[in-house]
């Protein structure tokens, strides 16, 4: 490694996400107050969008638990300094290397900021009265600074999940309806090319992948609904003509 690494921890890369979280933390209004577990809940829901993994969030959970207050204020010093051993203790005994990797993930996501001491150890220096003069560890102020952003992200994720569920329901109902209508049509001797209808139905249904993005399902659902309308039309017009002929025979 011929790189100029004259500074300590030179191997730790600085990413743009980290910069932005640092900027956000600095620009945070002093009177902002959030409840850390509410924010954490939103972060959990927006996990994918944030690029955090479930295990990384287990670490964040542990980190937050080291801050004594439930309510976090924008103007207070929001730094926690648990040793890796302590973190491991609160994170289901995960191995040290895994812990470090996930801490790195949290930093890259901009959920926490490293406040490194000169030797990389995490500790707080206390003054005469026991008050904290300086703390080295992890700054959790992004939790406060970005709380609104996390809430919005969580809402977007919830909306997407709902939309996905809705389109799956649409598909299921449509499939069931079409099968029923085809059965009825054949049973009642409705004139139509039922073989072709069944073929079209199979072709559309066969396109449905096991796992698909919502947009793909939307497209298939639209196709299926078109077929649904076509079949429905055949049955309806048959019913109408039957009624008409019934009326004629009455007169």
Partner DNA sequence: AGTGAACCTACAATGGGCAT
Partner DNA sequence: ATGCCCATTGTAGGTTCACT
User: Residues interacting with DNA, by CB under 7 A?
Assistant: 8-9, 11-12, 53, 55, 83-85, 94-98, 100-104, 118-122, 210-211
Q: Which of residues 54 and 248 has its CB atom nearest to DNA in the complex?
A: 54
Least Å distance, CB 89 to DNA, is 12
| 125 beta partners | 134
Shortest approach of DNA to residue 101 CB, angstroms?
6
Q: What is the closest distance, in whole angstroms, from the C-beta atom of residue 119 to DNA in the complex?
A: 3
- Phi–psi pair at 135, nearest 5 degrees: -120, 135
Rounded to a whole number of angstroms, the minimum distance from the CB of residue 222 to DNA is 24
32 or 94: CB nearest DNA: 94
Sign of CA pseudo-dihedral 93, 97, 103, 106: negative
Q: Which is nearer to DNA, 211 or 247 (CB)?
A: 211
User: How far apart, in whole angstroms, are the C-alpha atoms of residue 183 and residue 20?
Assistant: 60
Q: Which is nearer to DNA, 101 or 168 (CB)?
A: 101
Q: How far apart are the first and last CA of the chain?
A: 100
Burial zone of 247 (CB within 10 Å; 0-12 exposed, 13-18 middle, 19+ buried):
exposed
In angstroms, give the least distance from the CB of 51 to DNA: 10
| Shortest Å distance, C-beta 192 to DNA | 36
| Range list of β-strands (E), the chain | 33-35, 71-73, 79-80, 113-115, 123-126, 132-139
12 or 126: CB nearest DNA: 12
Residue with smaller CB distance to DNA, 51 or 74? 51
d(CA 140, CA 106): 10
What pairs with residue 114 in β-bridges? 138
User: What is d(CA 145, CA 112) in angstroms, rounded to the nearest whole number?
Assistant: 11
């Amino acid at each position: 490694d011929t790189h100029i690494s004259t500074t300590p921890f030179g191997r730790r890369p600085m990413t743009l996400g980290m910069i932005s979280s640092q900027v956000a933390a600095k620009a945070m209004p002093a009177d902002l107050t959030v409840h850390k577990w509410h924010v954490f809940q939103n972060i959990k829901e927006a996990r994918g969008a944030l690029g955090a993994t479930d295990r990384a969030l287990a670490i964040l959970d542990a980190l937050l638990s080291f801050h004594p207050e439930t309510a976090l204020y924008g103007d207070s010093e929001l730094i926690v300094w648990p040793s890796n051993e302590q973190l491991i203790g609160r994170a289901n005994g995960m191995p040290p290397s895994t812990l470090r990797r996930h801490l790195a993930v949290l930093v890259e996501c901009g959920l926490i900021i490293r406040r490194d001491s000169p030797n990389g150890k995490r500790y707080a220096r206390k003054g005469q009265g026991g008050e904290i003069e300086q703390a080295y560890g992890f700054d959790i102020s992004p939790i406060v600074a970005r709380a609104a952003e996390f809430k919005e992200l969580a809402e977007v994720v919830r909306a997407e999940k709902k939309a996905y569920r809705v389109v799956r329901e649409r598909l299921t109902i449509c499939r069931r309806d079409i099968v029923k209508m085809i059965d009825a049509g054949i049973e009642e001797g409705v004139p139509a090319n039922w073989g072709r209808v069944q073929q079209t139905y199979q072709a559309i249904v066969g396109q449905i992948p096991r796992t698909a993005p919502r947009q793909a399902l939307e497209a298939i659902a639209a196709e299926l609904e078109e077929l649904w309308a076509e079949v429905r039309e055949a049955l309806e017009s048959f019913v109408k003509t039957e009624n008409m002929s019934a009326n004629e025979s009455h007169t």
